[in-house]
Chains A and B, each alone.
Chain A
């Protein structure tokens, strides 16, 4: 008797779990984001903890940055579309979970520093490219290193879990430069490897390097040098096959590019003092991004290869 009742309760809970699971996947697949926002009165923005100046926290569950402010403008448009006030909920994501969380409906609009590439386009959708990062290297100013061919037999630092690791690997195979790689567990760690002399250069996205240098003890001790190893378009991300959402996002971005609002936003986050330390990353807009502001597109990284 006892055994049977345990079995029955196990069966009921399994069924309940299956129903919950079916419910969530149903939500992600059948409903469009705009419909979901209209029904729940809430939109979930995926943000990053430390991808300054694109998306980062200032503590106390407050998030800000270039992409966060861009997304707030997009959400204003969504508000107008659904015709009612909506509540914005912030959910921090990581490089590891941002795509699954967007796919399964936990996050509606991811506003971090996600590279738009062909592999990811199979899983998610991207807005028009709003930032372009160039992978270069940071070195100590007095090291005399100016390009990557000088790094033969030297050590290069980069961060685990980033596309730069792959870029470096491909470069090594193609150019036959023989260097050693060390991997920091995060950007601060990789920078420390270069600062302490364990590595001679730190290869990473230029905006991240500029941010780290701006916050270093003595910013004049470091500089960003060398050829561009790879160009990566960065964009906001949302669920795939959702034309309504894609229209609102791209419409807002085009409008902001045309009326100069996005240019102003860029200057605010990349060329003026920003929190938390009130220093500027001091990174004027590059040629690629300037061209994109004139003729916006959402092409993946692969189309930027020379």
Chain B
């Protein structure tokens, strides 16, 4: 197989950008979509995951039900279908949404989808703690909110860092759905550039390398965080 990389320096036809410039800007869009969606996912996922573990008495029962409904809704619909719902279906029912930039819609769609997955991991983390921890908090006279803030969540988040790492790497790769709503990110670049240059193998090799490199950096950063915040002698810290 003969590879030829020279086309990356060629002009894309507008007289000022090369394919390399375009790929770098596409990489930027991939990172932007993934990073913004990750913020949405982490925030909402933590809240929903926590809600699902609340004691099932009184008003909190409804919060648990809300959390369950959230997870089932966003986890059970395929990601690409959700993106289309946000981009085509909902704006046709509620016209002002057509003015919202597609970047915001895809961040919302990808963020909500991932938030359901993050919520499940946070819930699993909280539920993996011995029941005694919650009881100890209550015995000390802490309110439910205080028990979560000072006893349960600090432990639970440390436990779920490995699955959250996978999720953070997933969101980088899942951000490729943004091509479907006209965001000029890496996948759109790959599909378009290979058509224009007829050098599909080289284009996909370059794009794959960027995806791998990005996911690997995320993986290393998360591993670093995991190591830095480890507390000796607690659950999940043995190594």
Contact = CB atoms under 8 A, between A and B. Distances in A.
Contacts of A99: 198, 200
Given A100-B201, A196-B88, A166 B196 contact: yes
Nearest to B1: A25
Nearest to A124: B198
A185 B198 contact: no
A169 B14 contact: yes
Counting chain A CB atoms within 10 Å of each CB, the highest count among B12, B192, B201 belongs to: B192
A122 B199 CA distance: 11
A119 B179 contact: no
A123 B3 CA distance: 12
B166 interface: no
Nearest to A99: B198
B13 interface: yes
B192 A165 contact: yes
Given A172-B14, A197-B98, A162 B195 contact: yes
| Interface size of A as a range | 20 to 34
A243 interface: no
A95 interface: yes
Chain A contact surface mostly: mixed
Given A96-B191, A100-B201, A182-B182, A163 B196 contact: yes
A189 interface: yes
Counting chain B CB atoms within 10 Å of each CB, the highest count among A95, A119, A185 belongs to: A185
B197 A183 contact: no
A160 B200 contact: no
A161 interface: yes
A266 B136 CA distance: 82
A97 B195 CA distance: 10
A160 B88 CA distance: 17
A226 interface: no
Given A169-B12, A170-B13, A183-B188, A123 B198 contact: yes
B132 interface: no
Interface string B4-42: 000000001111000000000000000000000000000
A185 B184 CA distance: 12
A156 to B, nearest CB: 11
A170 B14 CA distance: 6
Nearest to B95: A197
B127 interface: no
Nearest to B98: A198
A184 B179 CA distance: 8
Counting chain B CB atoms within 10 Å of each CB, the highest count among A95, A120, A166, A196 belongs to: A166
Contacts of B184: 183
A119 B197 contact: yes
A68 B195 CA distance: 22
A165 B13 CA distance: 10
B201 to A, nearest CB: 7
Interface in B162-188: 179-180, 182, 184, 188
Interface string A138-180: 0000000000000000000000111101100110110000000
B143 interface: no
Contacts of B98: 196-198
Contacts of B13: 166, 169-170, 173
B33 to A, nearest CB: 15
A170 B12 CA distance: 9
A256 interface: no
B128 interface: no
A47 B91 CA distance: 36
Nearest to A162: B195
B92 interface: yes
A292 interface: no
Nearest to A192: B88
Interface in B184-228: 184, 188, 191-192, 194-198, 200-201
A252 to B, nearest CB: 26
A192 B109 CA distance: 20
Nearest to B183: A183
Interface of B: 12-15, 88, 91-92, 98, 102, 179-180, 182, 184, 188, 191-192, 194-198, 200-201
5 nearest A-B pairs in the assembled complex, by CB-CB distance: A161-B191, A182-B182, A173-B14, A183-B182, A185-B180
19 contacts: A96-B200, A100-B200, A120-B198, A160-B179, A160-B191, A161-B191, A161-B194, A161-B195, A163-B196, A165-B192, A165-B195, A169-B13, A173-B14, A183-B179, A184-B182, A185-B179, A189-B180, A196-B88, A197-B98
